[in-house]
């Protein structure tokens, strides 16, 4: 089998509600990149990556130039066994993990299709029927956030990510955490996420003010040292996200003692191959894992669901139905939220079929 054509689309995804985060970050309409790898056998592998602006060193319009640079390595190559071709791609173009994430996902899709197996079988085997989801709550007025939490809980959600810091008011952040905790009652997981946007002083003030509650903090500050300082000062567990993106960062976070949980996002690490390796390292490091991606629709949701369901349920904190937060949907047969949980598709590869006709003419074709 050989790769014969690379097609790429830029698709605007509009959030059902605007997501406000610390430090001026927002998710409203964000561009996702869809990738199709065609082969000389007629099989196609699909991938997707959707960087959030001002969030990580990644941008949607950087994917096409990166793939153009990689075309000499990819076209004519055997795509089966993703890690072999990804190794060549990494030698040819150093870095640019986010652009390679869509490529890696598409290669896994092709490999699963050739094997006639769903990806979760190839990624370690299915470990559960379905996985728990968290619901991300935009940083708005505390009372409105509590209302959103109650509505999500009524749909079956038991884990709640409370965005903090959008108004740079630490006392409002205290109210957000207290009202959401009160709204959902004892038991459900509630954690406050600053997306690196807090100072250690403000995060510590918030954490100490809610230290009597069952609360976890997430990525309060922009450095591991400050996150560790906040955890030590508040006595609350810490989940990392933006600062966890490769083997070195995971080992460093573990050494700092501030990685009780960690978000393993496909585009941060560079696709399923690298994120699976990160997952297996986290088994050793002891962190619970949220397996997800930065943003996106049906293709990345399907991909992360396969990795999540092949993860030991005792170590999987949660996963995310990203496509449930945005429109349009890209694949009519993609997984959807049911009673607060998500199941992966059972068909070969990703197990979904994106609507190529709806995507229209590609913005880039390499052949």
By the 8 A CB rule, do 152 and 161 touch? no
Burial 242-262 (b: 16+ CB within 10 A, else e): bbbbeeebbeebbebebbbbb
Q: Which two tokens stand for residue 43?
A: 């099989």
- Residue (of 244, 277, 247, 276) closest to 260 by Cα position: 244
| DSSP track, 312-328 | -TTTEEEE--GGGGEES
By the 8 A CB rule, do 122 and 110 touch? no
Interhelix angle for 63-74 vs 82-92, to 10°? 110
- As beta bridge partners, residue 261 has 239, 288
Of residues 100, 231, 239, 265, which has the active-site annotation?
Answer: 265
Classified as helix, coil or strand, 27 is strand
Residue 40 region, left (φ>0) first, then alpha (ψ -120 to 50), else beta? alpha
Task: Note the residue count of the chain.
Answer: 367
Classified as helix, coil or strand, 151 is helix
| Residue corresponding to tokens 């070195």 | 248
By the 8 A CB rule, do 213 and 185 touch? no
Of residues 163, 231, 239, 268, which has the active-site annotation?
Answer: 163
Q: How many angstroms separate the CA atoms of 300 and 352, rounded?
A: 11
Structural element, H or E, at residue 134:
strand 134-137
163 in active site: yes
By the 8 A CB rule, do 174 and 182 touch? no
239 in active site: no
Q: Which residues contact 119 (CB under 8 A, 6 or more apart)?
A: 108, 109, 112, 272, 303, 306, 307, 344, 349, 350, 351
Q: How many angstroms separate the CA atoms of 48 and 43, rounded?
A: 17
Show which residues are catalytic. Answer: 163, 265
């Amino acid at each position: 089998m050989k790769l014969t054509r690379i097609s790429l689309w830029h698709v605007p995804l509009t959030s059902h509600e605007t997501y406000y985060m610390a430090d001026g970050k927002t998710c409203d309409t964000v561009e996702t990149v869809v990738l199709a790898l065609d082969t000389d056998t007629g099989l196609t592998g699909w991938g997707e990556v959707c960087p959030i602006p001002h969030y990580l060193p990644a941008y949607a319009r950087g994917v096409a130039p990166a793939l153009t640079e990689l075309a000499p390595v990819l076209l004519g190559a055997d795509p089966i066994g993703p890690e072999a071709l990804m190794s060549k791609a990494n030698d040819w173009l150093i870095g640019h993990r986010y652009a390679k994430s869509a490529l890696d996902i598409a290669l896994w899709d092709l490999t699963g299709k050739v094997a006639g197996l769903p990806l979760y079988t190839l990624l370690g085997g299915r470990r559960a029927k379905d996985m728990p989801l968290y619901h991300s709550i935009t940083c708005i007025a505390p009372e409105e956030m509590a209302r959103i939490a109650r509505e999500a809980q009524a749909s079956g959600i038991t884990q709640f990510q409370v965005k903090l810091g959008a108004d740079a008011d630490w006392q409002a952040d205290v109210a957000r955490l207290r009202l959401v905790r009160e709204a959902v009652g004892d038991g459900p997981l509630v954690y406050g996420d600053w997306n690196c946007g807090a100072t250690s002083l403000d995060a510590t003030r918030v954490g100490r003010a809610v230290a009597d509650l069952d609360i976890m903090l997430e990525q309060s500050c922009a450095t591991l040292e400050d996150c560790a300082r906040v955890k030590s000062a508040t006595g609350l567990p810490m989940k990392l996200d933006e600062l966890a993106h490769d083997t070195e960062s995971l080992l460093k976070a573990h050494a700092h003692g501030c990685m009780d949980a960690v978000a393993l996002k496909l585009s941060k690490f560079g696709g399923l191959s690298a994120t699976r390796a990160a997952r297996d390292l986290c088994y050793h490091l002891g962190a619970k894992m949220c397996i997800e991606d930065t943003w996106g629709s049906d293709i990345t949701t399907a991909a992360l669901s396969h990795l999540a369901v092949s993860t030991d349920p005792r170590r999987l904190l949660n996963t995310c139905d990203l496509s449930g937060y945005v429109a349009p949907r890209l694949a009519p047969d993609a997984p959807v939220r049911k009673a607060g949980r998500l199941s992966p598709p059972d068909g070969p590869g990703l197990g979904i079929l994106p609507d190529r006709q709806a995507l229209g003419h590609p913005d880039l074709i390499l052949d």
